[in-house]
């Protein structure tokens, strides 16, 4: 499947700045016509969604356009770097771990929106607010402004068409947006975790057990929060299965892993008739010496 060059450009530009979850100072492209599609980086947040972002555009004539109310905000999604990317392994230490301080892996949040057809030509400004978001690792306060120059002409909503077996089809950006998920975290303590054994219950009448999957973020960080050093301090192996009624998760980290770098997500399809009612039935957490440690996993559900 081959996406358009324009889409590749959007993803490439955003990925270059993803390690700290940067925010834009201008859009991509930096010049647009009324009605065109633009994209911009709005930070690094695991919890941001299209529904909790406010976006307005003040054009050169001073008119303020509420893009969210006009239904022009098309998608908000996150990008992660390719696993072999140089910056994934050798970026400055602060860039490597700052996102974990905010509770999530390194990622770059991207907003895609169309412009209204009636915006006045000239220099304008987008104002973006991340409403109720506390995990933005960019360090930029919300709301923030992003410049955009409007040139005369008639633009269009770009569909990012690509080739498939069925011919040319438009990109479905909802596929980039997060699936409903339950996030399991292990706190921010300093006691190293050597192993975990968990049993998670769910309502099998609401979600098909065969549809459940687990995603485990990588954490390529040298040393830990307090002692930067060589690689290897965040290694872990995760094994899981379900028996139709419960989900069993086992984690092994022989060298020990800081709790802040250990998390996983239980994902399921959209459109369920109710809540899957994920619940941790039993959790045993051990240190590197094999003894139980006082670390209590926390499960948070994001529908």
Range 31-59 average pLDDT: 97
Q: What is the mean pLDDT of the chain?
A: 91
144 CB-contact burial (10 Å; exposed 0-12 / middle 13-18 / buried 19+): middle
CATH architecture for segment(s) 5-175: Sandwich (2.60)
Integer Cα distance of 295 and 302 in angstroms: 22
CATH number, domain 181-302, options 2.60.40, 1.10.3470, 1.10.260, 1.10.10: 2.60.40
Return the sign of the alpha-carbon dihedral for residues 50, 53, 57, 63. positive
Position 297 scores a pLDDT of 98
Angstrom CA distances, 269 to 202, 207, 239, 274, 278, stand at 14, 8, 21, 12, 14
For residue 8, pLDDT over 50 is answered with no
Band the pLDDT of 26: cuts 50, 70, 90: confident
Strands 144-150 and 246-257, by their bridges, are unpaired
The pLDDT of residue 220 is 85
- Confidence band of 25 (pLDDT split at 50, 70, 90): confident
Q: Do domains 5-175 and 181-302 have the same CATH topology?
A: yes
pLDDT above 60: residue 273: yes
Q: What is the pLDDT of residues 156-199, one digit of tens each?
A: 998 888 888 878 888 999 999 999 999 999 999 999 999 999 99
> What is the pLDDT at residue 252?
98
Q: Taking 70 as the threshold, does the pLDDT of residue 9 lie above it?
A: no
CA distance 108 to 20: 8
pLDDT of 1 > 80? The answer is no
In angstroms, rounded to a whole number, what is the distance separating the alpha carbons of residues 41 and 21? 8
Residue where the block lists tokens 């030509």: 121
Sequence-distant (6+) residues with CB within 8 A of 145 are: 125, 126, 127, 128
CB 189, CB 276: distance < 8 Å: no
Residue that wins the pLDDT comparison between 299 and 95: 299
pLDDT by residue (tens digit) across 204-230?
A: 999 999 999 999 998 888 876 566 678
Q: Are 183 and 200 in contact (CB under 8 A)?
A: no
Q: How far apart are CA 198 and CA 184, in angstroms?
A: 11
Q: How confident is the model at residue 65 (pLDDT cuts 50, 70, 90)?
A: very high
Burial 44-53 (b: 16+ CB within 10 A, else e): bbbbbbbeeb
- What residues does 258 pair with on adjacent strands? none
According to the model, what pLDDT value does residue 279 have? 98
The more confident residue out of 105 and 92 is 105
pLDDT at 231 over 90: no
Q: Where are the domains of the chain?
A: 5-175, 181-302
């Amino acid at each position: 499947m081959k996406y358009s060059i324009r889409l590749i450009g959007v993803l490439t530009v955003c990925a270059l700045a993803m390690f700290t979850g940067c925010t834009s100072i201008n859009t991509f492209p930096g010049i647009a016509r009324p009605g065109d599609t633009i994209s911009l980086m709005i930070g690094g947040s695991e919890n941001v969604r299209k529904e909790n972002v406010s976006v307005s555009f003040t054009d050169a004539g001073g008119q303020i356009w509420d893009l969210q109310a006009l239904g022009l905000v098309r998608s908000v999604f996150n990008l992660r770097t390719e696993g072999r990317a140089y910056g994934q392994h050798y970026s400055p230490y602060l860039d490597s771990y700052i996102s974990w301080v905010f509770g999530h892996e390194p990622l770059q949040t991207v907003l895609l929106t169309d412009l209204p057809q009636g915006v006045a030509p000239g220099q304008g400004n987008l104002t973006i607010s991340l409403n109720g978001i506390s995990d933005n690792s960019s360090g930029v306060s919300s709301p923030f402004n992003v410049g955009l120059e409007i040139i005369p002409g008639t633009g269009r909503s770009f569909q990012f068409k690509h080739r498939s077996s069925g011919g040319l089809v438009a990109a479905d950006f909802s596929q980039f947006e997060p699936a409903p998920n339950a996030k399991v975290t292990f706190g921010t303590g300093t006691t190293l975790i050597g192993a975990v054994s968990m049993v998670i219950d769910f309502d099998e009448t609401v979600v098909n057990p065969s549809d459940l999957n687990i995603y485990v973020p990588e954490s390529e960080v040298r040393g830990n929060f307090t002692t930067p050093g060589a690689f290897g301090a965040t290694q872990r192996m995760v094994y899981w299965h379900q028996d139709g009624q419960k989900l069993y998760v086992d984690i092994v980290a022989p060298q020990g892993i800081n709790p802040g770098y250990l998390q996983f997500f239980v994902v399921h399809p959209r459109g369920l008739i109710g809540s899957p009612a994920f619940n941790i039935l039993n959790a045993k957490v051990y240190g590197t010496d094999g003894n139980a440690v006082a670390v209590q996993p926390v499960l948070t559900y994001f529908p």
